[in-house]
Amino acid sequence: MAGRHPARKLVIDPGILYSSYFGGNFAEAAQDVTLDAGGNVYITGYTDSVNFPTVLGSFDVSSNGDFDVFVW
C-alpha cells in the first residue's frame, strides 16, 4: 500500500480536541458547530432519521416527516 509506513509514528497535527459519533438510520447533516466559553460544543443541523438519538426533556422526539432540525 503506497504511503504506508508501519515503523513510523502516526502524528495528527493539529491534535483532535473533540470527537463524537451520532446519527440515525437515514441522512443527517451538521450545518454549524460552535463552542461556548466553557468549551461546550453545540451542533445544529437536520435529520431524516426516525431513530435520531434524543435525551429526556427534548422538545420533540418524534419524526415529523421529511427533515427535522436538531441542536445537539
Confidence category of residue 2, pLDDT binned at 50, 70, 90 = low
Q: Count structural domains, the chain.
A: 1
CA-to-CA dists, residue 37 to 17, 20, 43, 59, angstroms: 15, 20, 15, 25
From the list 37, 64, 34, the residue with the least C-alpha distance to 52 is 64
Domain that holds residue 43: 28-71
Cβ atoms < 10 Å from Cβ of 25: 11
Task: Enter the pTM of the model.
Answer: 0.67
Does residue 67 fall inside a structural domain? yes
**Residues 18-48: pLDDT tens digits?**
888 888 999 999 999 999 999 999 999 999 9
- For residue 65, tell me if it sits in a domain: yes
Strand partners, 41: 35
